[in-house]
Amino acid sequence: MKILVIGSGGREHAIVDSLARSSHKPKIYAAPGNGGIRELAELVPISSDDVPALAEFAETHRIDLTFVGPEVPLSKGVVDLFRNKGLKIVGPKADDARLESSKSFAKQFFKANQIPTADFQEFTTAQGAYAALESSRYPIVVKADGLAAGKGVVVAENREQAMAAVQQFMEAKTLGNAGSKVVIEEFLTGEEASFHVFADGAAFQSMVAAQDHKRRFDGDTGPNTGGMGAYSVDTILSAQDHEAVLNRMIRPTLAAAHEYTGILYAGIMLTADGPKLLEYNARFGDPETQVILPRLKTDLVDVLVDIAEHRLASRRLEWRTEASATVVLVSRGYPGRIEPGKQISGLEEAKRIEGVTVFHAETRWEDGKIYTAGGRVLNVTARGATLTEALDRAYLATGMIDFDGKDFRKDIGQKGLLKQR
- Distances, alpha carbon 215 to alpha carbons 17, 219, 293, 411, in Å: 27, 8, 23, 11
Start-end of CATH 3.40.50.20 domains in the chain? 2-89
Q: Where are the alpha helices (DSSP H) in 50-200?
A: 51-60, 71-75, 78-84, 94-101, 103-112, 126-134, 159-166
Angle between helices 159-166 and 126-134 (to 10 degrees): 170
CA separation for the pair 364, 267 (Å, rounded): 31
- Spatial neighbors of 176 by CB under 8 A, at least 6 apart, are 146
CA dist list (Å): 106 to 40, 97, 224: 36, 10, 20
Quote the CA–CA distance of 407 and 398 in Å, as a whole number.
10
In DSSP terms, 3 is beta-bridged to 28, 65
What pTM did the predictor assign? Answer: 0.94
Pairing of strands 356-360, 376-384: antiparallel
Helix, strand, or coil here: 403? coil
Radius of gyration of the chain (CA): 20
Contact 79, 69 (CB under 8 A): no
CATH 3.90.400.10 fits domain 125-180 = no
The Cα–Cα gap between 82 and 23 comes to: 26
Contact (Cβ atoms closer than 8 angstroms) between residue 162 and residue 156: yes
Q: CA-to-CA distance for 61 and 250, rounded, in angstroms?
A: 36
Q: Are 267 and 194 in contact (CB under 8 A)?
A: yes
CATH class entry, domain 2-89: alpha beta
What is the full per-residue pLDDT of the chain (421 aa) written as tens digits? 999 999 999 999 999 999 999 999 999 999 999 999 999 999 999 999 999 999 999 999 999 999 999 999 999 999 999 999 999 999 999 999 999 999 999 999 999 999 999 999 999 999 999 999 999 999 999 999 998 877 788 999 999 999 999 999 999 999 999 999 999 999 999 999 999 999 999 999 999 999 999 999 999 999 889 899 999 999 999 999 999 999 999 999 999 998 999 999 999 999 999 999 999 999 999 999 999 999 999 999 999 999 999 999 999 999 999 999 999 999 999 999 999 999 999 999 999 999 999 999 999 999 999 999 999 999 999 999 999 999 999 999 999 999 999 999 999 999 888 877 6
Helix-, strand-, coil-residue percentages of the chain, each rounded to 5: 35, 30, 35
Q: Rounded to an integer, what distance in angstroms lies between the CA atom of residue 66 and that of residue 148?
A: 24
Whether 184 and 126 have beta carbons less than 8 Å apart is answered as no
The residues of the chain that CATH labels 3.30.1490.20 are 125-180
Distance CA 387, CA 421 (A): 12
Residue limits of CATH 3.30.470.20 in the chain: 191-420
The dihedral sign for the CA sequence 183, 207, 314, 12:
positive
Taking Cα atoms as reference points, which of 325, 322, 261, 318 lies closest to residue 291?
325
Out of 3.40.640.10, 2.40.160.20, 3.30.2350.10, 3.30.470.20, select the CATH number for domain 191-420.
Answer: 3.30.470.20
H or E segment to which residue 364 belongs: strand 363-366
Distance CA 326, CA 260 (A): 29
Rounded Cα distance between 404 and 416, Å, is: 31
Given a contact cutoff of 8 angstroms between Cβ atoms, the answer to whether 330 and 228 are in contact is: yes
Give, rounded to a whole angstrom, the gap between the first and last alpha carbons of the chain.
46
Distance from C-alpha of 120 to C-alpha of 136, rounded to nearest angstrom: 11
Query: Which residues partner with 200 through β-bridges?
Result: 261
Please report the pLDDT score of residue 421 as a whole number: 63
Per-residue pLDDT, 289: 98
